[in-house]
Amino acid sequence: MSAPLLEVRDLRTHFLTRAGVAKAVDGVSFSLGRGEILGLVGESGSGKSVTGFSLLGLVDPPGRIVGGSIRFDGRELVGLPPAEMRALRGRRLAMVFQDPQATLNPVLSIGAQMALAVRAHEAVSERAALARAAAVLARVGIPDAARRLGAYPHEFSGGMRQRVAIATALLHGPDLIVADEPTTALDVSIQAQILAEMKSLAAESGTALIWISHDLATVSALADRVLVMYAGRIVETGPVGAVLRAPIHPYTRGLLDSLPAMAAPGQRLRQIPGTAPSLLAVPAGCAFAPRCPRADAACGAPPPEARLPDRLALCHHPIEVAA
């Protein structure tokens, strides 16, 4: 196997707040191959978005990457001078955010802001930049793209705006796109359109994709591998079908059992008791232990790795599954 496109080792991103140190990401490691789709799943406050922001060097104070390494195509991104990071961001690494309303500039036409993004990295004429913009807009399924370059964001629907944001991310044919809950704000029927397009775009262009979401169903339909986060740490990772069919970690199991689709209509759902811990006071040892049905005294110590071929969970009492 060739070297992975992205290799994250023991990444730690902390927020130094007045109330204490919030360990939003605390020792996350994973790798990603070219063209691979990784689903990053977790509930609010699990650190999944901060992980995404860390990859692109977009963590603002009081947040800071306090340790670990992010190797992207052989290059270390942690500690990279801002100018060099800017040269990479948008060109080889791109991001799509949850709310296209907030990420598009409302006073620039779609064409003008996309041309700016093109020319930020390449010395081409305005005309050539606009032609490139029209071409990628057409690729993400915006009809009559060349004519719509003059339109402003408010003239587009939510789904169309998210397509523009995705098209902007695609402008330079990046190696990696990090998408943070890109379809959460959209309606079901529009969400399916975007998912279908992302999947075929990733396959066509060989772009690797990190899809950050709280929605297991979306991730199961899109991703090759899944990574489940809880309280700033990875609890389980592996091929998406295998993990969701037979999770090793009790948290992944609990998350699945919480879904209404997993119970007969009208029956009680198997809920996870309690709430996620504050990131200011993550329990020592296994952070999930206070809510875990399998927890015992051993869980006060940091959880060991439970490995299966191609799979990993961090747990003292992993659920037995057939390899």
Partner 1 sequence: MTGLVVAEGLTRRFDPRLSLGDRIAALLGAAVETRPVRAVTDVSFVVRQGETLGLVGESGCGKSTLGRMVAGILPPTSGTVRIGGAPVMRGGRKTTTRIQTVFQDPFASLNPRRRIGKIISEGPLAHGLVTRARVPAFVAEWLARVGLDPAVATRFPHQFSGGQRQRVAIARALAMKPDILVCDEPVASLDVSIQAQILNLFLELREALGLTCLFISHDLSVVRHVSHRVAIMYLGRIVEVGPAAQVYAAPRHPYTRALLDSVPRLRLDDAAVSFRPIAGELPSPLAPPPGCAFHPRCPRASERCRRERPELAASAEEAAVACHHPHEDPVA
Interface residue list for partner 1 (CB under 8 A): 43-44, 157, 159-160, 187-193, 195-196, 199, 214-218, 220-222, 239-242, 244-245, 254-263, 265-266, 268-273, 275-276
Going by C-alpha positions, the residue among 255, 209, 200, 206 that lies closest to residue 228 is 255
Sign of CA dihedral 53, 194, 217, 291: positive
Query: Min. distance of Cβ 196 from partner 1 in angstroms?
Result: 4
Query: Min. distance of Cβ 231 from partner 1 in angstroms?
Result: 13
Query: Min. distance of Cβ 87 from partner 1 in angstroms?
Result: 35
Contact 303, 316 (CB under 8 A): yes
Of 254 and 303, nearer to partner 1 (C-beta) is: 254
Mapping DSSP to helix (H, G, I), strand (E, B) and coil, where does residue 80 land?
Answer: coil
Of 170 and 198, nearer to partner 1 (C-beta) is: 198
Q: Which helix (H) or strand (E) holds 320?
A: none
Place of tokens 């772009």: 207
Of 127 and 268, nearer to partner 1 (C-beta) is: 268
Place of tokens 């991103």: 13
Strands (E), the chain: 6-17, 20-32, 37-41, 63-72, 75-76, 93-96, 176-180, 208-213, 225-230, 233-239, 305-308, 311-314
Of 65 and 222, nearer to partner 1 (C-beta) is: 222
Of 82 and 265, nearer to partner 1 (C-beta) is: 265
Q: How far is CA 306 from the centre of its chain?
A: 24
Of 72 and 251, nearer to partner 1 (C-beta) is: 251
Query: Min. distance of Cβ 270 from partner 1 in angstroms?
Result: 8
DSSP code of 89? Answer: B
Of 53 and 211, nearer to partner 1 (C-beta) is: 211
Query: Min. distance of Cβ 79 from partner 1 in angstroms?
Result: 34
Is the preceding omega at residue 62 within 30 degrees of 0, hence cis? Answer: yes
**Alpha-carbon distances, residue 20 vs 15, 278, 285, 295, 320 (angstroms):** 8, 11, 19, 27, 38
Query: Min. distance of Cβ 83 from partner 1 in angstroms?
Result: 39
Query: Min. distance of Cβ 91 from partner 1 in angstroms?
Result: 29
